[in-house]
Amino acid sequence: RWCTGPRAARARAGGFTLDRALAGRRQASIALMGNSITVRQIHERCPTYVFNDGTRALTVLSKTDQEVQAQVGNLIFAGTTVVGVRAPE
């Protein structure tokens, strides 16, 4: 459900769906180098969340160029999109 306000009205008028309005087009980058997985925030206003299921810790990436090391089993949240990190088959 859309909230009230001018930003929500502009998003609706621009044809955005609710999930597209909550996430930036270029919100975060995920880099895999060897066994290392780095999630880096690249959007200045839309935060990205990384949830570690093992420790139950939630990391909020809200500043541009802020990074966190992710692990297999983590969940990455960008708006209403959730990406699970899993090992290759």
Task: Give Cα separations from 10 to 5, 15, 19, 29, 89 (angstroms).
Answer: 9, 9, 14, 27, 43
Q: What is the CATH number of the domain that holds 49?
A: 2.60.40
Q: Which domain holds residue 66?
A: 26-84
Q: Torsions phi, psi of 6, nearest 5? A: -65, -35
Distance CA 60, CA 39 (A): 11
Confidence at residue 89, expressed as pLDDT on a 0 to 100 scale: 75
pLDDT tens digits for range 15-48? 665 555 556 668 899 998 888 999 999 888 888 9
When comparing pLDDT for 59 and 11, which is higher? 59
- 39 within some domain: yes
Mean pLDDT score across all residues of the chain: 82
Q: Is the model more confident about 19 or about 57?
A: 57
